[in-house]
């Protein structure tokens, strides 16, 4: 929390902190939903492809293989090892890998990028309107609180300088 508070003094980092605080709940919800689908792909791959390649021999190796496929590493090698002379297995492996790649590389990453982009827009508009502290303190979105709180009796908005204060400070310059 102290590091986040330190970063909030710079406007660029403050927008980053706000973006992460706004996006984090939605990203966590998305990851929980996607984890269920990922576990389904892991179990299906382990059951179906374990007899044909060492990359799916155990649940742990299946998790590693699918994670490598998400990162674009061993797509062709894994696909070539799994496809065999059996037409049914070859057809199933194509559906399995194509759907996995489309779902996780294109859909999930695009949704995650859009969630972060939307949070960035919210953070920038909050900073522009002077309501950024409300996002971080949890007044506007209580579920986004980073643990910062205002002291008792502290006003919601900092006092704005009057025209006399501004002209007096300009005259001193």
> What's the confidence (pLDDT) of residue 64?
92
Q: What are phi and psi of 22, to 5 degrees?
A: -80, -40
Judge contact between 116 and 16, C-beta under 8 A: no
102-149, pLDDT tens digit by residue?
A: 998 889 889 999 999 988 888 888 777 765 554 554 444 444 444 444
Which residue's structure tokens are 């709940």? 25
What whole-number distance in Å separates Cα of residue 28 and Cα of residue 22? 11
Work out the average pLDDT over 23-39: 92
Name the burial class of residue 156, with classes exposed (0-12), middle (13-18) and buried (19+) by CB atoms within 10 angstroms of its CB: exposed
Confidence bin at 167 (pLDDT 50/70/90)? low
Q: Greatest CA separation found in the chain?
A: 87
Nearest CA among 79, 85, 87, 84 for reference residue 45: 79
What whole-number distance in Å separates Cα of residue 71 and Cα of residue 32? 19
> What's the confidence (pLDDT) of residue 62?
94
pTM of the shown model: 0.65
| Model confidence at 81: pLDDT above 90 | no
> What's the confidence (pLDDT) of residue 145?
42
What whole-number distance in Å separates Cα of residue 146 and Cα of residue 50? 45
What whole-number distance in Å separates Cα of residue 166 and Cα of residue 99? 62
Residue 57: DSSP 8-state: S
Confidence bin at 171 (pLDDT 50/70/90)? low
Side-chain half-sphere exposure of 173, counting CA atoms within 13 A? 5
- Range of 21-30, 40-49, 82-91 with top mean pLDDT: 40-49
What whole-number distance in Å separates Cα of residue 147 and Cα of residue 16? 17
**Cα radius of gyration (the chain):** 25
């Amino acid at each position: 929390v102290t590091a986040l508070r330190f970063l909030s003094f710079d406007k660029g980092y403050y927008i980053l902190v706000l973006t992460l605080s706004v996006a984090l709940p939605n990203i966590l919800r998305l990851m929980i939903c996607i984890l269920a689908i990922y576990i389904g792909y892991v179990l299906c791959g382990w059951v179906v492809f374990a007899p044909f390649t060492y990359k799916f021999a155990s649940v742990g190796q299946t998790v590693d293989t699918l994670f490598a496929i998400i990162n674009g590493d061993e797509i062709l090698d894994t696909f070539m090892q799994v496809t065999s002379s059996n037409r049914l297995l070859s057809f199933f492996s194509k559906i399995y890998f194509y759907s996995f790649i489309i779902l996780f590389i294109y859909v999930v990453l695009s949704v995650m990028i859009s969630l972060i982009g939307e949070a960035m827009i919210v953070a920038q508009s909050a900073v522009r309107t002077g309501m950024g502290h409300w996002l971080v303190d949890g007044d506007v979105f209580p579920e986004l609180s980073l643990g910062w709180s205002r002291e008792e009796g502290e006003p919601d908005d900092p006092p704005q300088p009057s025209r006399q204060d501004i002209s007096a400070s300009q005259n001193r310059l």
